[in-house]
Amino acid sequence: MKKISLTGIKPTGTPHLGNYLGAIRPALALSETYETVYFIADYHALTTVHNGLEMHDNIHKVAATWLALGLDPEKGLFYKQSDIPEIFELSWALSCFTPKGFMNRAHAYKDKVAKSLATGEDADSNVNMGLFCYPCLMDADILMFNADIVPVGKDQKQHVEFARDVALRFNKQFGKAIFTVPEAIIQENTDVIPGLDGRKMSKSYDNYIDIFLDSKSLKKKIGKIVTNSQEMDEPKDPEICNVFKLYKLFASQEQSDALAARYRAGGMGWGHAKAELQSVLEEHLGVARDRYFDLIAHPEKIDSILRAGAEKARPIARENMDRIREVLGVGKSY
């Protein structure tokens, strides 16, 4: 049997090219060698998103993005976290095996505390319990479906480490392998995807390019990529150019080699380079963009896919939760 890969997708806004290259594309590629579980982590997003209409819109945008880019809901599982109540029951059970010290060391919590202290506020003034208990719910997400691997960026490795520790504690307590102990698969390239200003592409820096911009908007965004003051006739080094760095992440090796040669030969201005970037993005994402806007225009299609995914996932979750309830001594659910 294939091992299981699990990926959580937090609906906190429209994904950008950095998300696609660093998380979506590699996670979708795992479907070739793993049984895949993809879920929309809407309850995780509640720690920051407190507007119902915004949440509903974000769920549709994120689901449409993954579906448009190649997620096949007929293979593996694709569901909305809130549609699987067993996950929340498991979260409570796992919290009873989780030392509070774990929660104190969680990166998101520590960052909030540090920011509060830096502005002279009480350490916990900006911390809600959802944020504090976030790791317990994430542990439940991972352990409920016995994921063998969880692809994450370097900054999220801690979540998988917590899940591993809790799984080992639980298994040791009851003397048998109740949970699969997961491994983190680190996406090493998530730190090197350049934004418009050359820094890591991030919404925090407002230097990102949305995945599915129309041609006119895409051209405008690409036009904002920072370049140097070299004249058109001057030879240029492609490896230090933000435009080329993005280009080669989408282009074939042959395309990259050809454009690099034009850089070094001189006679090519930055406008030409940016036009080449737009061309390769249109080539790579144009069909997916059409699928995305079709899904957004027909949200009932998205809802139907997520309902079908929940219907596939719930029996698995219920069976696993019944085993867990039994070892806990609380009996099976009715």
Residues serving a catalytic function are 112, 200, 203
Calpha distance 57→222 (Å, rounded): 26
What are the backbone angles phi and psi of residue 48, rounded to the nearest 5°?
A: -125, -25
